[in-house]
Amino acid sequence: MFDVVRTVHMGQSEMPADYQANVRGYSKGHYEGDTLVIETSGFPEGILLPHPGVPQSDQLRIVEKLSVDTDSGAMRMDWTATDPLYYSTPQTGHSIYVRSDIPVGVFDCEH
């Protein structure tokens, strides 16, 4: 989205000691069977993007589980967000992504 490149560090148990918090966080991944599990933390305190007005602390942790339906080819992403400073319970949701013949375009945004 918007030409952002996201890196998921596979097979890592910890983020590097010199990591600097940023709005994309630090994502590490592993497989549980056919499901890709991505755990992201390392966010700065601020406002959760792209949801203006939703605060986040530096303790925000997001877990995404991505799996593909072998019959339809659709990808399902289930997510859970926890932040003990702002959420009294985990926040959850899911999205379904289907294949498209439309090529991915470049936004070529200027800063």
pLDDT at 2 over 80: no
pLDDT at 101 over 80: yes
Q: How many whole angstroms separate alpha carbon 109 and alpha carbon 85?
A: 34
- What's the rounded mean pLDDT across residues 68-93? 95
Tokens of 3: 């030409």
Would you call 82 exposed, middle or buried from its count of C-beta atoms within 10 A (0-12, 13-18, 19+)?
middle
pLDDT at 111 over 70: no
Model confidence over 9-48: pLDDT tens digits? 998 888 899 999 998 899 999 999 999 999 999 999 988 7
Model confidence over 75-85: pLDDT tens digits? 999 999 999 99
Helix (H) or strand (E) holding 66: strand 61-68
pLDDT score for 50 = 64
Would you call 56 exposed, middle or buried from its count of C-beta atoms within 10 A (0-12, 13-18, 19+)?
buried
Query: For residue 63, what pLDDT band results from cuts at 50, 70 and 90?
Result: very high
